[in-house]
Chain A
Amino acid sequence: QQQVKQSPQSLIVQKGGISIINCAYENTAFDYFPWYQQFPGKGPALLIAIRPDVSEKKEGRFTISFNKSAKQFSLHIMDSQPGDSATYFCAARMETSGSRLTFGEGTQLTVNP
Protein backbone atom coordinates (compact mmCIF):
# COMPACT_ATOMS: atom_id res chain seq x y z
CA GLN A 1 0.00 0.00 0.00
CA GLN A 2 1.83 3.04 -1.28
CA GLN A 3 0.53 6.09 0.52
CA VAL A 4 2.71 8.50 -1.45
CA LYS A 5 2.72 8.23 -5.23
CA GLN A 6 5.52 9.88 -7.19
CA SER A 7 5.87 10.62 -10.90
CA PRO A 8 7.55 10.45 -13.28
CA GLN A 9 9.80 7.47 -12.65
CA SER A 10 12.52 9.06 -14.79
CA LEU A 11 13.05 12.50 -16.26
CA ILE A 12 15.51 13.89 -18.77
CA VAL A 13 15.97 17.65 -18.96
CA GLN A 14 18.35 19.89 -20.86
CA LYS A 15 20.73 22.15 -18.98
CA GLY A 16 18.98 25.36 -18.03
CA GLY A 17 15.52 23.81 -18.20
CA ILE A 18 12.95 23.30 -15.46
CA SER A 19 12.60 19.89 -13.82
CA ILE A 20 9.23 19.10 -12.28
CA ILE A 21 8.52 16.07 -10.08
CA ASN A 22 5.07 15.41 -8.70
CA CYS A 23 3.78 13.58 -5.65
CA ALA A 24 0.30 12.76 -4.40
CA TYR A 25 -0.72 11.49 -1.01
CA GLU A 26 -3.79 9.89 0.47
CA ASN A 27 -3.67 10.34 4.20
CA THR A 28 -4.71 13.78 5.40
CA ALA A 29 -2.95 13.12 8.71
CA PHE A 30 0.41 13.73 7.05
CA ASP A 31 1.81 16.95 8.48
CA TYR A 32 5.19 17.49 6.85
CA PHE A 33 6.52 16.93 3.35
CA PRO A 34 10.28 16.76 2.73
CA TRP A 35 12.18 16.08 -0.48
CA TYR A 36 15.40 14.08 -0.56
CA GLN A 37 18.19 13.99 -3.11
CA GLN A 38 20.32 10.90 -3.58
CA PHE A 39 23.52 10.53 -5.57
CA PRO A 40 24.78 7.08 -6.64
CA GLY A 41 26.42 5.18 -3.78
CA LYS A 42 25.21 7.66 -1.17
CA GLY A 43 22.34 7.86 1.25
CA PRO A 44 19.48 10.29 0.58
CA ALA A 45 20.00 13.82 1.87
CA LEU A 46 17.33 16.32 2.86
CA LEU A 47 16.88 18.93 0.14
CA ILE A 48 13.87 21.05 1.09
CA ALA A 49 10.66 20.58 3.07
CA ILE A 50 7.25 22.16 3.49
CA ARG A 51 4.40 22.15 5.99
CA PRO A 52 0.77 21.97 4.80
CA ASP A 53 -0.08 25.48 6.01
CA VAL A 54 2.22 26.93 3.33
CA SER A 55 1.51 26.79 -0.42
CA GLU A 56 5.04 27.36 -1.64
CA LYS A 57 8.59 27.29 -0.34
CA LYS A 58 11.66 28.34 -2.26
CA GLU A 59 15.32 27.71 -1.49
CA GLY A 60 17.67 28.81 -4.23
CA ARG A 61 16.77 27.00 -7.45
CA PHE A 62 14.50 24.53 -5.63
CA THR A 63 10.80 25.23 -5.01
CA ILE A 64 8.09 23.11 -3.45
CA SER A 65 4.51 23.83 -4.47
CA PHE A 66 1.83 22.42 -2.20
CA ASN A 67 -1.88 21.96 -2.97
CA LYS A 68 -3.62 20.82 0.18
CA SER A 69 -7.09 20.42 -1.33
CA ALA A 70 -5.75 18.22 -4.14
CA LYS A 71 -3.39 16.39 -1.78
CA GLN A 72 -0.51 17.00 -4.16
CA PHE A 73 2.90 18.58 -3.95
CA SER A 74 5.69 19.05 -6.43
CA LEU A 75 9.37 19.90 -6.66
CA HIS A 76 10.52 22.40 -9.26
CA ILE A 77 14.21 22.72 -10.09
CA MET A 78 14.86 25.92 -11.99
CA ASP A 79 17.86 26.35 -14.30
CA SER A 80 18.63 22.61 -14.00
CA GLN A 81 22.31 21.72 -14.03
CA PRO A 82 24.15 18.46 -14.79
CA GLY A 83 25.14 18.37 -11.11
CA ASP A 84 21.44 18.05 -10.26
CA SER A 85 21.40 14.62 -11.89
CA ALA A 86 20.33 12.34 -9.05
CA THR A 87 17.38 10.39 -7.71
CA TYR A 88 14.76 12.47 -5.93
CA PHE A 89 12.32 11.18 -3.34
CA CYS A 90 9.30 12.91 -1.94
CA ALA A 91 8.14 11.90 1.51
CA ALA A 92 5.39 12.55 4.01
CA ARG A 93 5.50 12.45 7.77
CA MET A 94 2.85 11.59 10.30
CA GLU A 95 3.96 12.81 13.70
CA THR A 96 1.52 10.56 15.51
CA SER A 97 3.22 7.48 14.05
CA GLY A 98 6.62 8.00 15.63
CA SER A 99 7.60 10.69 13.13
CA ARG A 100 8.04 8.05 10.48
CA LEU A 101 8.51 9.13 6.90
CA THR A 102 6.68 7.42 4.05
CA PHE A 103 8.57 7.78 0.78
CA GLY A 104 7.51 7.94 -2.83
CA GLU A 105 8.99 5.58 -5.39
CA GLY A 106 11.69 7.99 -6.54
CA THR A 107 12.46 9.89 -9.75
CA GLN A 108 15.75 9.51 -11.57
CA LEU A 109 16.63 12.92 -13.00
CA THR A 110 19.21 13.30 -15.76
CA VAL A 111 20.23 16.79 -16.83
CA ASN A 112 22.02 16.78 -20.16
CA PRO A 113 24.75 19.37 -20.77
Chain B
Amino acid sequence: DAGITQSPRHKVTETGTPVTLRCHQTENHRYMYWYRQDPGHGLRLIHYSYGVKDTDKGEVSDGYSVSRSKTEDFLLTLESATSSQTSVYFCAISESSWRQGANYGYTFGSGTRLTVV
Protein backbone atom coordinates (compact mmCIF):
# COMPACT_ATOMS: atom_id res chain seq x y z
CA ASP B 1 0.00 0.00 0.00
CA ALA B 2 2.04 2.91 -1.32
CA GLY B 3 5.10 2.38 0.89
CA ILE B 4 3.48 1.63 4.22
CA THR B 5 3.41 -1.79 5.83
CA GLN B 6 2.01 -3.01 9.12
CA SER B 7 3.05 -6.08 11.02
CA PRO B 8 1.75 -8.44 12.08
CA ARG B 9 -1.45 -8.58 10.02
CA HIS B 10 -3.20 -10.75 12.58
CA LYS B 11 -2.48 -11.45 16.21
CA VAL B 12 -4.20 -13.27 19.04
CA THR B 13 -2.90 -12.54 22.52
CA GLU B 14 -3.90 -13.16 26.10
CA THR B 15 -5.22 -10.60 28.53
CA GLY B 16 -2.46 -8.93 30.50
CA THR B 17 0.34 -9.50 28.01
CA PRO B 18 2.20 -6.65 26.29
CA VAL B 19 1.80 -6.38 22.53
CA THR B 20 3.72 -4.28 20.01
CA LEU B 21 2.48 -3.44 16.55
CA ARG B 22 4.82 -2.07 13.94
CA CYS B 23 4.29 0.44 11.16
CA HIS B 24 7.01 0.92 8.56
CA GLN B 25 7.02 3.54 5.78
CA THR B 26 9.32 4.13 2.85
CA GLU B 27 7.84 7.53 1.88
CA ASN B 28 9.90 9.64 4.30
CA HIS B 29 6.70 11.34 5.49
CA ARG B 30 6.89 13.41 8.64
CA TYR B 31 3.57 12.51 10.20
CA MET B 32 2.53 9.03 11.33
CA TYR B 33 -0.68 8.03 13.08
CA TRP B 34 -2.21 5.07 14.84
CA TYR B 35 -5.98 4.60 14.66
CA ARG B 36 -8.27 1.88 15.85
CA GLN B 37 -11.42 0.92 13.97
CA ASP B 38 -14.46 -0.42 15.76
CA PRO B 39 -18.04 -0.84 14.50
CA GLY B 40 -20.12 2.25 15.22
CA HIS B 41 -17.09 4.34 16.14
CA GLY B 42 -15.33 4.80 12.85
CA LEU B 43 -11.63 5.49 13.12
CA ARG B 44 -10.37 6.90 16.40
CA LEU B 45 -6.91 8.37 16.86
CA ILE B 46 -4.73 6.67 19.47
CA HIS B 47 -1.40 8.48 19.10
CA TYR B 48 0.43 10.35 16.42
CA SER B 49 3.95 11.48 15.65
CA TYR B 50 5.14 14.67 13.98
CA GLY B 51 8.80 13.68 13.85
CA VAL B 52 11.45 11.41 15.31
CA LYS B 53 10.91 11.20 19.07
CA ASP B 54 7.98 13.68 18.80
CA THR B 55 4.67 12.09 19.68
CA ASP B 56 1.35 13.16 21.13
CA LYS B 57 -1.84 11.60 22.40
CA GLY B 58 -5.04 11.17 20.47
CA GLU B 59 -8.58 10.74 21.75
CA VAL B 60 -8.25 7.10 22.92
CA SER B 61 -4.67 6.87 24.20
CA ASP B 62 -5.25 5.20 27.59
CA GLY B 63 -3.49 1.82 27.74
CA TYR B 64 -1.31 2.56 24.71
CA SER B 65 2.16 3.95 24.23
CA VAL B 66 4.16 4.72 21.10
CA SER B 67 7.73 5.23 20.04
CA ARG B 68 9.39 6.63 16.97
CA SER B 69 13.16 6.31 16.96
CA LYS B 70 13.49 6.51 13.16
CA THR B 71 11.51 8.38 10.52
CA GLU B 72 10.36 5.14 8.94
CA ASP B 73 9.14 3.24 12.00
CA PHE B 74 6.28 3.96 14.40
CA LEU B 75 5.56 1.37 17.10
CA LEU B 76 2.34 1.00 19.06
CA THR B 77 2.51 -0.88 22.35
CA LEU B 78 -0.38 -2.16 24.40
CA GLU B 79 1.19 -2.22 27.81
CA SER B 80 -1.15 -4.85 29.26
CA ALA B 81 -3.70 -6.00 26.71
CA THR B 82 -7.38 -6.06 27.66
CA SER B 83 -10.41 -7.44 25.83
CA SER B 84 -11.58 -3.88 25.11
CA GLN B 85 -8.48 -3.46 22.95
CA THR B 86 -9.66 -6.14 20.55
CA SER B 87 -9.88 -4.12 17.35
CA VAL B 88 -8.43 -3.46 13.93
CA TYR B 89 -5.47 -1.11 14.13
CA PHE B 90 -4.48 1.11 11.25
CA CYS B 91 -1.33 3.08 10.75
CA ALA B 92 -1.38 6.11 8.48
CA ILE B 93 1.20 8.54 7.11
CA SER B 94 0.99 12.02 5.68
CA GLU B 95 3.21 14.76 4.37
CA SER B 96 3.86 17.76 6.55
CA SER B 97 1.82 20.07 4.40
CA TRP B 98 -0.51 19.85 1.50
CA ARG B 99 0.11 21.39 -1.85
CA GLN B 100 -2.35 23.91 -3.20
CA GLY B 101 -4.85 22.22 -5.45
CA ALA B 102 -3.84 18.71 -4.49
CA ASN B 103 -5.98 16.27 -2.57
CA TYR B 104 -4.42 16.05 0.86
CA GLY B 105 -4.87 12.91 2.78
CA TYR B 106 -3.48 10.07 4.72
CA THR B 107 -2.13 6.88 3.23
CA PHE B 108 -3.27 3.96 5.34
CA GLY B 109 -1.68 0.59 5.88
CA SER B 110 -3.66 -2.61 5.49
CA GLY B 111 -4.31 -2.93 9.20
CA THR B 112 -3.59 -5.33 12.03
CA ARG B 113 -6.46 -7.38 13.41
CA LEU B 114 -5.79 -7.87 17.12
CA THR B 115 -7.81 -10.22 19.27
CA VAL B 116 -7.31 -10.23 23.05
CA VAL B 117 -8.65 -13.38 24.71
Contact = CB atoms under 8 A, between A and B. Distances in A.
Interface of A: 1, 6, 9, 32, 34, 36, 41-46, 48-49, 89, 93, 98-106
Nearest to A46: B105
Contact of B108 (A43, A49, A93, A105): A43
Interface stretch (B11-19, B39-47, B65-73, B78-86): B39-47
B1 A34 contact: no
15 contacts: A34-B105, A42-B111, A43-B1, A43-B90, A43-B109, A44-B90, A48-B103, A49-B105, A89-B43, A98-B50, A99-B98, A100-B58, A101-B45, A103-B42, A105-B40
A104 B42 CA distance: 6
B37 to A, nearest CB: 8
Given A43-B90, A43-B108, A100-B58, A106 B103 contact: no
B42 A89 contact: yes
A46 B92 CA distance: 12
Contacts of B97: 99
Contact of A42 (B40, B98, B110): B110
Contacts of B59: 1
Interface residues of B, number: 30
Interface SS of chain A: helix, strand, loop or mixed?
strand
Given A49-B105, A99-B31, 5 more contacts: A41-B111, A42-B111, A43-B90, A99-B98, A100-B45
Nearest to A106: B42
A56 to B, nearest CB: 15
B93 to A, nearest CB: 11
Interface string B39-64: 01111110010100000101100000
A43 B111 contact: yes
A1 to B, nearest CB: 8
A93 B58 CA distance: 14
Contact of A43 (B40, B48, B104, B110): B110
A49 B103 CA distance: 6
